[in-house]
Each structure stands twice: as C-alpha cells, then as structure tokens.
Amino acid sequence: MCPATSNEDIPRGYIIPIGGGEDRERDMQIHRRFVELSGGADAAIVVIPTASMLEETGPDYHRIFSELGAGQVEFLPISRRADCDNPEFADLIDRASGIFMTGGNQLRLSAILGGTLLAQKIRRRNAAGVPVAGTSAGASIMSEHMVAGGSSNAAPAEGNITLAPGMGLTNAVIIDQHFTQRNRLGRLLTATSYNPFLIGIGIDEDTAAFIGPDNVFEVVGSGSVTVVDAGQLTHSSMWDARPGEALSLLGLRLDVLGEGCRYDLTARVAYPPDEHLAFCSLPVSSGDPPPEAEG
C-alpha cells in the first residue's frame, strides 16, 4: 500500500484535518507531529490565519510551531482577496515545507482564498509532498465538498447541512469538526447519503486524522474520529422525503476510531492500533512516542 517514492512518482503530502480545540499548551502532540512531518528543525511552516478575525491567531501559531522546534515559521496576514496576489506570500508558499490553516469561519476562508493563485499553489505544494494541516474551519475547507454549516442533531434530515466548494486537497472525504462536542452525526449522515461516494469523517476536538499519501489515515489526539461510510447504502428516502419527514437510510457503516486507529479510505476498512501498515505509519516524534497498542 505504500506509494513509490521515486522521482517520477512523488507521493502527495499528508492532509491533516484537526477537529478544533486542540491542545496548544501542554503536549501539543498534534502540532508536534505536524512539525515533524514538515521537517522539524529544517521546517519552513507557513500559517494562514485568514479564517480567524482575531489578531493574535497568527502570532499564537508562530509561538507554537517555534516552541516545537520548527526552523522557520511565517504567518500570512491575508484578510482580503487582493492579499492573495502578494508575490512575497506566493514565494513563502513556494518554499514552505508545511502549511497550516487556522480555525475561524470556513466560508470566510473559502471566499477569500477560493480561485486565487495562492489556493492553487497550496494544492500544488501538497501534491508535491508538502503536508497541509488545518484546524476547525481550516479542516473543513480541505475537501472538495466543504461543510459550510448546518444544524446540530443526531438525526439525518434533508437540508440540515450546507455544502460549499472547498479547497479540493482530497475529494474522497467530507470533513466535519467539533464533531461529538457539537452533535454533528446527523448532518454528516445527510451529506454522505447525498452521494455515497463520499466518506464522512467527523473529527472530535483535540483530535486529528493524519491522511497519508497512501490514503490511509491515523488518528492522533484525545478524541475520536467517526467514519460514516454510505458506500453499501441499500436504500435512501432522501430524494423524495417530504419536509420534516423522518428519513430512512439503510446499510450505513460506522467506525469510531480512537487514538492510533487507522482507516484505509480506498478499501473503506478500519484497523485497530496494533494492526496494518506498521512499515508505512506516521514518523515517530522524538518528543512524543506513539501510544502503545493498548487501544
């Protein structure tokens, strides 16, 4: 399953959606792994704080990644579309070994970055092997189909989710964040039943899915990643349900993955922490050994 690493076939970089609310003070294991993947002391990390309206967001991540030993950290003060044409910013993206998108409002992020040269460069850098991470809004925007909003409810219902075009780093998944904390299973069921091609990934706070070049992701953090797979759907009443009518969705698969579990997005199979792809797993951070196979 490990992709070839020859020059003709460069594997794409990790895609790392984070569910928001991640630890930024103590172990910072998610950020630590991201820095490690970005090259550690040789890393050149670029932070895009555009989703956030808070002035301190960029500087805050500058502190975090610097503390974790990243060689170089920059944040791009992009607050309008014209900023995306700044050649200095383009140059920083071109030289980045890791890109991080902060939380905030994903529609602000997509409205400002969408269709710009900078967004294209981020996609190309990721395709060339550079890891791209994003938390909360920054996680939602990564997929081709982005969750822009919706209601909190355990039950699926037509119209309880708002989709918008995202950045398109992957089109295999649709990503939701603050998942358990904000009770978002219903809307993720809705999204995956709209088109069962998509695998729904609901990421809890302080939790990340490290999606490798082989389309296998590993869970890192204190929460769970819930995977909704409607690929075996045998029946859906979504298309002809009357407003307010309870839906039928038969044949869904559900996996709840704790830390260390892996999920193969191609085969649509989940693996416990102690199985599968050991030779292909995430690099081990020197400061934060991976959990033992205890579950």
Active site residues: 136, 178, 205
**For residues 7 and 234, which CB has a smaller minimum distance to a copy of itself in the complex?**
234
Indicate the DSSP class of residue 212.
Answer: -
Query: With contacts defined by CB under 8 A, how many residues of the chain interact with a copy of itself?
Result: 44
User: Residue 273 CB, nearest distance to a copy of itself (Å)?
Assistant: 7
Q: Given candidates 111, 164, 241, 277, which one binds a copy of itself under the rule CB under 8 A? A: 241
Indicate the DSSP class of residue 79.
Answer: -
Dihedral of CA atoms 111, 107, 20, 104 in degrees, nearest 10, equals 70
Q: Should residue 151 be labelled a site residue for a copy of itself when binding is judged by CB under 8 A?
A: no
Please state, in angstroms and rounded to a whole number, the distance separating the CA atoms of residues 294 and 273.
8
3-state helix/strand/coil string of 36-99: HHCCHHHCEEEEECCCCCCCCHHHHHHHHHHHCCCCEEEECCCCCHHHHHCHHHHHHHHHCCEE
User: Residue 269 CB, nearest distance to a copy of itself (Å)?
Assistant: 9
Helix (H) or strand (E) holding 147: strand 145-150
- Contact letters for a copy of itself, residues 57-96 (x by CB under 8 A): ----------------------------------------
Indicate the DSSP class of residue 170.
Answer: B
Q: Given candidates 36, 158, 218, 259, which one binds a copy of itself under the rule CB under 8 A? A: 259
**For residues 36 and 259, which CB has a smaller minimum distance to a copy of itself in the complex?**
259
Please state, in angstroms and rounded to a whole number, the distance separating the CA atoms of residues 200 and 174.
5
Q: Should residue 199 be labelled a site residue for a copy of itself when binding is judged by CB under 8 A?
A: no
Q: Should residue 154 be labelled a site residue for a copy of itself when binding is judged by CB under 8 A?
A: yes
Bridge partner list, 207: 221
- Contact letters for a copy of itself, residues 202-231 (x by CB under 8 A): --x--x--------------xxx-------
Window contacting a copy of itself (CB under 8 A); options: 22-30, 71-79, 114-122, 268-276: 268-276
User: What are the structure tokens assigned to 222, written together?
Assistant: 């204190």
Please state, in angstroms and rounded to a whole number, the distance separating the CA atoms of residues 247 and 238.
6
Q: Which amino acid is at 229?
A: D
User: What are the structure tokens assigned to 38, written together?
Assistant: 């970005």
User: Residue 252 CB, nearest distance to a copy of itself (Å)?
Assistant: 4
Are 282 and 210 a contacting pair, CB within 8 Å?
yes
Provide the angle, in degrees to the nearest 10, between the axes of the packed helices 106-113 and 117-127. 100
Window contacting a copy of itself (CB under 8 A); options: 12-20, 162-170, 209-217, 245-253: 245-253
Q: Given candidates 81, 108, 123, 253, which one binds a copy of itself under the rule CB under 8 A? A: 253
Residues that bind a copy of itself (CB under 8 A): 153-156, 179-180, 183-186, 189, 204, 207, 222-224, 234-237, 240-241, 245-259, 261, 270-273, 294-295
